[in-house]
Amino acid sequence: MTTLPTPNYLGGYPAELQAQARDLIAQGVLAERLQRRYGAPHGVRTDGALYDYTTALKSRYLRNAAPLAKVVFDNRLHVIANALGTHTAVARVQGNKLKAKREIRIAGIFRSVPEAFLRMIVVHELAHLKERAHDRAFYALCTHMEPDYHQFELDLRLALMQAEASGQPLWPAVAEKSTASAVAVPLVRPG
């Protein structure tokens, strides 16, 4: 039986930054620094609360974007598959028209992280309503909705590295189920 390779959470970042992250983990200080910086997990626990949270952000920044039919936590999305969230358009034929319903699925690990990380992934998936590709326009939209987007993404990746190294998440998991499934779309760093 072969084991899956360890995800390279900082693959697109400079080698010096990757080395610094490994040193902080080896010294045992990264977890404490991240916990101190970001504090306790958010209070968005249910799919309904996540839908409300997401639509509030959408209403503020993307009023003219297509409406969202569903926003859910998805325990099947997993970091190992390089998917932290997905944005899909489910097309259905209704009479002689083709209707597309937009859905956002957020990995279950985001139930128990600080609000900054939840906001980062929701902003990322909302940006896909306007920009399909991970290009300059996409990341400009992300930073318009969340000015600290890139810092939150980096710190989330550091938290995932720490959790992988220690075998323990930095914030305890919340025991709630989600019944959704999705196709993985990777979260990538801008080029």
Helical residues (DSSP H) of the chain, grouped into ranges: 15-27, 30-38, 47-61, 115-127, 136-145, 149-166
- Strands laid side by side in the 85-94 sheet: 68-74, 97-107, 85-94
Main-chain dihedrals φ then ψ at residue 59, nearest 5 degrees:
-65, -35
pLDDT category at 191 given cuts 50, 70, 90 is very low
Q: What is the distance between the alpha carbons of residues 81 and 33, in angstroms, rounded to a whole number? A: 27
Would you say residue 187 has pLDDT above 80?
Answer: no
Say what the pTM is.
0.81
pLDDT digits (tens, 9 = 90+) for 98-146: 777 889 999 988 999 999 999 999 999 999 999 989 999 999 999 999 9
Q: Which two tokens stand for residue 74?
A: 């998805």
On whether the CB atoms of residues 71 and 49 are closer than 8 A, the answer is: no
